[in-house]
């Protein structure tokens, strides 16, 4: 597989690893999302210990308002983080 194909499979695997603990395998509840962020993104979002921050993130990601994050909502989140990372790296290289 190419690097991009591998990255796509890894994103799917990470979502699947954390979804379904509450019995719904195709979504992340707030607790599953919190665990995913703590384990998989500790350097980026792991410092958000404040409960209100977790609630705000869940609300922001839950586009359809069903109190869960489905795969499409998760991918939008990953894309947004990737875009922010790209912007940060561009700024670092320009200095």
Burial profile 42-57: b = 16 or more Cβ within 10 angstroms, e = fewer: eeebeebeeeeebeeb
What is the average per-residue pLDDT within 64-79? Answer: 94
| Nearest-angstrom CA–CA distance, 52 and 10 | 29
Residues in the chain: 95
Average pLDDT over residues 64-82: 93
Q: Cα separation of 69 and 19, whole Å?
A: 9
- Tens of pLDDT, residues 7-63: 999 999 999 999 988 777 799 998 899 899 989 988 876 565 566 777 788 888 889
Ramachandran region, residue 29 (left: φ > 0; alpha: ψ -120 to 50; beta: rest): beta
């Amino acid at each position: 597989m190419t690097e991009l194909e591998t990255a796509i499979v890894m994103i799917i695997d990470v979502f699947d690893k954390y979804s379904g603990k509450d019995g719904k395998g195709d979504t992340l509840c707030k607790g599953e999302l919190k665990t995913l962020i703590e384990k998989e993104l500790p350097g980026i979002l792991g410092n958000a210990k404040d409960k209100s921050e977790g609630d705000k993130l869940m609300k922001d990601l839950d586009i359809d308002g069903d109190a869960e994050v489905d795969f499409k909502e998760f991918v939008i989140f990953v894309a947004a983080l990737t875009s922010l990372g790209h912007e940060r790296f561009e700024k670092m290289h320009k200095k």
